[in-house]
Structure 1
Amino acid sequence: MWPFTKRPKDPVLDPSYGDPHRKALIRALEKRKWKFARELLNMAADPDEMAFLMEAVGGVDGIQDWIGDWMDAEPESTLPVLVAGCHAVRWAWEARGGKRAKYTTAAQFKGFHERLRHAEALLQRVLAREPDNVTARAWLVTSSRGLGVGPAEARQRFEAVTRLHPGHLVAHEQRLQYLCAKWSGSHEEMFDFARGAATAAGPNSLLHELVAVAHIEKWDATEREEGNEYIVSDEVRAELLTAAEDSIFHPDYVPAGPGWAPRVATFAMAFELADEFDAAGHAFALLDGLVTEWPWQILGDPVEKFTASRDWVTTNRS
């Protein structure tokens, strides 16, 4: 058991995940202070931190309206082109909307694909000058899903990232999404990838979160009654606990560093769905009221669903 040691905080949706570096970047971009944003991005210590910051870039509205000023001011720099390309991938998903394909209009798909092609052109501009730019290659893994590129090319894009940075968390997550049945793969391909990546990662790695994502994706893709029966099965619960023990419940794990919060939240949600209330309670305690869009957006409003899930877990813990 992992009892709460203090009263849980009121849930707050925080796009910075409480990280001051990411918060400063978001504010700089919102105010179009690209020189400050440039300095903050250049401070990234490694590809994982750059990915963490670039995910924040994607969430800032309106960058496409002014990023050309930065590119014009610094034509020799690839950084503003990278920012524009990564942002355009998220901008493309905004055009598509969050519903499944059968509920997406032809106009939405048209805008989605146009923006993705724009994003790919920008990212390829970066790679033409910096072939080893890990972030540009990682975001091409995401765009490959939206454009429906073939399996061989999609795999090559992912492997181009992992040759440079084997444990790139965002690239692994996006590769898993490509392999989901709702996109270009199947449940079998998704689980093979998730389990293989977790095994290769070893203990105390957030890559074990991929196993939890895979179970959530299968639950979400299944008729609700059947999905609920699936995710509370002994086999699923055991695999979720093992994955957590090798990551967020590992003795050496510290809830800090780039992008920790949505990965802990993924376990919190998976455990709540699986009726593993003690484990879910521990994950919620690590979050301490911090709400992230993923994974709660799968269920609806993130703050509402986080709160309902946490309260249900608190009520049902032994």
Structure 2
Amino acid sequence: MWPFRKRLKTPSLDPTYGDPHRKALIRALQRRKWKFARELFNMAADPDEMAFLMEAVADVDGIQGSIGEWVDAEPESPLPVLVAGCHAVYWAWEARGDKRAKYTAAAQFREFHKRLHYAEELLRRVLTLDPDNVTAWTWLVTSSRGLELEPGEAQQRFEAVTRLHPGHLVAHEQRLQYLCAKWAGSDEEMFDFARGAAANAGPNSLLHELVAVAHIEKWGNSDREAGNEHIRSEEVCAELLTAAENSIFHPDYIPAGPGWAPRVAVFALAFELADEFDAAAHAFALLENVVTPWPWGIAGDPVEIFTNSLEYVTANRS
């Protein structure tokens, strides 16, 4: 099903990335068609596809007020509890907001932690029913960052995922965020993790995107002059190009599959920041004007930032 996606003519924010499966799931959850939602989740072929579908839950308003219907209807099933728990993680971040800690009110933090603890209760309940539920463990990796759990516990959660599905893309991305200097780690830990994951991934894997994410994080966590100096250095540009050649620029790569668009977009943004305009144009061409909240939303309205970036790259490429 994945290769069949809508081709967009103008930049458009599309939470489905043009994927009809994800679109149908969002509509089913919005309309409380729980049996149909179950069927759609059950179509996921592997944990990466399941994570791709579960990420769509974030785009459904009102889940916390209605999901109890599904939980009560299927008291022995872990799936509706899993959906509620994963959505509660997004719900918690909604309460916190996306600003740095120093710009976040104490009341926001209290609600953030309250909702995260609620999410953890639900996800732990899933694990009592299904101890090897990869998706539950993955969203616990995310909540470990918000709750600022000690490093050992956070590491154990990540290892619980990779023991079951070694290349889980979302779990790796969330683990990298935990290791960022702005959360519980450092630049050294972040880069060691990103490079290690890429080295173990092999060619034609989107895990190489972690290298680009790490450099964007370094750029964003520095003052503008230092950030530009870092990401435009010869060594970083070479590393970004190697990462792309092993993933989205690999001859066997097809821009399709679960969660493809934001990972391609990360490379487009990283190459733009690095003044590697030909490589950036290549990445933008793969996107075909599909706009995703991440990474474009880190600097403002995603469609506006995407459009400005594309125009800047087009104007400056050789």
Superposition TM-score tier, normalisation by shorter sequence: over 0.9
**Mapped partners of 1:106, 1:122: distance in 2:** 25
Q: Does 1:162 align with 2:162?
A: yes
What is the aligned partner in structure 2 of residue 93 from structure 1? 93
**Mapped partners of 1:229, 1:259: distance in 2:** 30
What is the aligned partner in structure 1 of residue 308 from structure 2? 308
**Mapped partners of 2:61, 2:229: distance in 1:** 40
Q: Percent identity?
A: 79
Q: Does 1:114 align with 2:106?
A: no
What is the aligned partner in structure 2 of residue 5 from structure 1? none
**Mapped partners of 1:192, 1:59: distance in 2:** 32
Q: Is the 8 A contact 1:67 1:84 kept in 2?
A: yes
Q: Is the 8 A contact 1:59 1:90 kept in 2?
A: no
**Mapped partners of 2:190, 2:61: distance in 1:** 32
Poorly superposed stretches of 4+, deviation over 2 Å: none
Q: Does 1:178 align with 2:178?
A: yes
Superposition deviation, residue 9 in structure 1 = 2.8
My pick for the range that moved more, 126-135 or 8-17, is: 8-17
Flag structure 2 segments of 5+ consecutive residues without an equivalent: 1-7
Q: 1:19-34 counterparts in 2 under 5 A? A: 19-34=19-34
What is the aligned partner in structure 2 of residue 221 from structure 1? 221
What is the aligned partner in structure 1 of residue 83 from structure 2? 83
**Mapped partners of 2:128, 2:35: distance in 1:** 24
Cα deviation code 1:174-218 (max 9, x no counterpart): 000000000000000000000000000011100000000000000
Specify the code of the residue in structure 1 equivalent to 2:222.
T
**Mapped partners of 2:121, 2:31: distance in 1:** 26
Please give the TM-score of this superposition, normalised by the length of structure 2: 0.97
Superposition deviation, residue 84 in structure 1 = 0.2
**Mapped partners of 1:60, 1:102: distance in 2:** 29
Specify the code of the residue in structure 1 equivalent to 2:193.
F
Cα deviation code 1:75-131 (max 9, x no counterpart): 111100000000000000000000000000000000100000000000000001110
CA RMSD of aligned residues (A): 1.0
What is the aligned partner in structure 2 of residue 211 from structure 1? 211
Please give the TM-score of this superposition, normalised by the length of structure 1: 0.97
What is the aligned partner in structure 2 of residue 278 from structure 1? 278
Cα deviation code 1:249-308 (max 9, x no counterpart): 001101010000000000000000000000000000000000000001111110000000
Superposition deviation, residue 72 in structure 1 = 0.5
What is the aligned partner in structure 1 of residue 5 from structure 2? none
What is the aligned partner in structure 2 of residue 202 from structure 1? 202
Q: Is the 8 A contact 1:16 1:56 kept in 2?
A: yes
**Mapped partners of 2:9, 2:209: distance in 1:** 24
Specify the code of the residue in structure 2 equivalent to 1:159.
E
What's the secondary structure of 2:299's corresponding residue?
A: coil
Flag structure 1 segments of 5+ consecutive residues without an equivalent: 1-7
The count of residues paired between Structure 1 and Structure 2 equals: 312
**Mapped partners of 1:59, 1:189: distance in 2:** 31
**Mapped partners of 1:312, 1:214: distance in 2:** 23
What is the aligned partner in structure 2 of residue 60 from structure 1? 60
**Mapped partners of 1:46, 1:58: distance in 2:** 20
